[in-house]
Structure 1
């Protein structure tokens, strides 16, 4: 059974990069060495692996990667810290048109 990893790298400019691979060590080494000049991290090395989660199902890994790529940096950092309560708070809609704020 193959293992797939969704990972977060912290770049030298403090931006976060989210990726997925089936070989975490190799992929982090590629990011670190500047293997691909077209990669987001190429001009942002050094990078540091700050989070990864493993999956046995590639579809679940792809789903999770796409999901967290859309998150704010604060929400991604809460995931890195394992602060799931903060993720929930940051996920709440604060828009004035949200149903919680409408007078009924």
Structure 2
């Protein structure tokens, strides 16, 4: 399964890299887009639960790293008001269509 990282900037300017065992996060977040802390936490949790389930289907056990990332996001999010803004600064690797768009704009 392809792994990925999501880089975010929290409301106070702190940056953090998040791990996912699956590219499914691309179905829930968009690089360059801002989300409320509440929405970001919800979207990230849903994406990582889906990613963990994909690992379970393939290997027979859930992904503890995905659960650890959910806990990381939840802990970080607790420091902010629910309506403050989190910016998704980078998602790596990008989906193939995103790679083509980035190369065209360069």
Would you call these one fold, judging by a TM-score over 0.5? no
Which of structures 1 and 2 has the bigger CA Rg?
1
Which fold has the larger relative contact order, with Cα–Cα distance below 8 Å and residues 6 or more apart in sequence? 2
For Structure 1 versus Structure 2, the TM-score category normalised by the shorter chain is 0.3 to 0.5
